[in-house]
A and B are shown apart, each in its own frame.
Chain A
Amino acid sequence: MTTTASRPAVEIRDLHKSFGPLEVLKGIDFEVGHGEVVCVIGPSGSGKSTLLRCVNLLEEPTAGKIWVNGTEMTDPDVEIDSVRRGIGMVFQSFNLFPHLTVLDNLTIAQRRVLKRGRAEAERIARDNLARVGLTDKADAYPAQLSGGQQQRAAIARSLSMDPKLMLFDEPTSALDPELVGDVLTVMRQLAEDGMTMMVVTHEMAFARDVADRVVFMDGGVVVEQGPPQEVLGAPQHERTRSFLSRVLDPTHVAQLGQPGQSAEPPASPSLPVDDRHHI
């Protein structure tokens, strides 16, 4: 295992991932710098969630190398449990432990994995619940919370492990629209506090306002990446433009003709000024 301080938080080289005969990732080169917030966007089936899940080895890469915080994840002898402690992950479906209270959800891994004492674990858990605005929900069970509260509790659970990197896998996709804002607010606060974040999302406004860099994926490759105002504001590739127009202006897609075939590319769509979520 190579540990170098100069390595980025996440470094991915020529990553391939196949599920049976289906190749989902076709050679990804990708980096996330320390303290950087990277949003990965793209159509469903583009491989963005698979890429994220490869970073902490929830999916085993077929080929290629991945380093996280200087540790090679793809080393067959990697101490996976100890590396994962430094990588928080937030799921689309929250995945809180339903048989435990919110407080126990936040303390169980601290106690079992980090071997913290009960008092210390509970103090850290309560600090993180306060951070996500759930101070009064410590003794509730997950089923008693709204989707937005559950997702914030899940974020607090990850933060309780003091991760250096946070992965978000479509964290707001399972939420009712009115609950999305609270979760995004917590994530924005986290970004402002300097957390290194890799976010797979469909929330373009979040990507525009919070990301340092936006990565557009399609068909298992990175098509285009750069600062949000470039990728979202002035996309260079037809595939990016077509995707953005479908996401940002879904009711007018039919008028654009056949994306990818029109001789004259449609004007790049601008982000709506009055966005749904004020974050």
Chain B
Amino acid sequence: MKLRRRQRERLSLWLQYLAFVAVIAVVLLAADWGRLREAFFRVDIIESMFPTIITVALRNTILYTLGAFAFGLVFGTILALMRLSRVAPYRWVATAYIELFRGLPALLVLFLVGYGIPIAFPEREIPGGVFGSISIGLGLTAAAYMAETIRAGIQAVPKGQMEAARTLGMSHFTAMRTIVIPQAFRIVIPPLTNELILLTKDSSLAYVLGVTAQTIEVTKFGRDTLNDRVNATPLLVAGLTYLIITLPLSQVVRRLELRYAKAR
């Protein structure tokens, strides 16, 4: 019997739902729930992690992330302006830096800041301890990415904006600062937020600098607790803790984009 078009479409849809339900049912039935709960969801371990995971670990994760982001943003903006400079050596230096640091693993740069520099200059110390080192170590890499994003944002501002500002008697610098860059940042908010989310996760690399009970962040805290209790629950808790940061972040961005859409 030949099916009509609508019947065929309905059948196809039902089959897709059916496949979905079947996979879920197999997983639910086949999984060893007792063992999974024992390994990943021990309520007593979860309780033991609070409130330290929030008051110390999450706080430090946020601090390291913001430190690296701030360093990367300032340095990245400078690099972006150098890339667009009329002075050729500035362009060369910025281009070389960006190409170099985009090609290096963040972990290696962090080693360089955390261990390389102290070996080279033993009499000096990076200010801010772990916070300072992670801000600079991750910020150096982030700056290279952010510089390219910001440069693209600046170039995306129509040429007429600079012309109008200059026509009103503004200097190139004033026009850049009050007219072009504010608009460029509106354009680059989504990609910069992406960078913030990446940094949130990269802040877990802080463990290589040797953190203490005061400077511990979420991933290291989860792993230490795992070692103590010989149980995987802390990893689940640590993972969910990151979502506390990253999920609201995308909400905030969505709202900002809406607000700026009105102003554009």
Contacts and interface: CB of A to CB of B under 8 A. Distances in A.
B166 interface: yes
Given A112-B174, A143-B263, A84 B169 contact: yes
A145 interface: no
A56 B263 contact: no
| Chain B interface bracket (under 10, 10 to 19, 20 to 34, 35 or more) | 20 to 34
B87 interface: no
B207 to A, nearest CB: 41
A99 B168 contact: no
Given A58-B163, A97-B164, A98-B264, A113 B170 contact: yes
A82 B161 CA distance: 19
A137 interface: no
Given A93-B160, A99-B186, A112-B178, A81 B167 contact: no
Contacts, number: 69
B10 interface: no
B262 A109 contact: no
Question: Looking at A81, A87, A99, A157, which has the most chain B CB atoms within 10 Å of its CB?
Answer: A99
Interface in B148-187: 158, 160-161, 163-171, 174, 178-179, 182-183, 186
Contacts of B161: 95, 97
B164 A56 contact: no
A82 B169 contact: yes
A154 B183 CA distance: 18
A89 B263 CA distance: 23
| Chain A interface bracket (under 10, 10 to 19, 20 to 34, 35 or more) | 20 to 34
Contacts of A81: 166, 169-171
Contacts of A113: 168-170, 174
A99 B169 contact: no
A95 B164 contact: yes
Contacts of A87: 167
A157 B160 contact: no
A99 B167 contact: no
Interface string A40-60: 000000000000000010100
Given A81-B170, A113-B169, A114-B169, 13 more contacts: A56-B167, A58-B166, A81-B166, A84-B167, A85-B168, A87-B167, A91-B163, A95-B163, A97-B164, A99-B182, A108-B179, A109-B169, A143-B264
Nearest 8 A/B pairs, CB to CB: A109-B168, A95-B164, A85-B169, A95-B160, A113-B169, A89-B167, A84-B169, A98-B264
Interface of A: 56, 58, 81-82, 84-85, 87-89, 91, 93, 95-99, 108-109, 112-114, 141, 143, 154, 157-158, 161
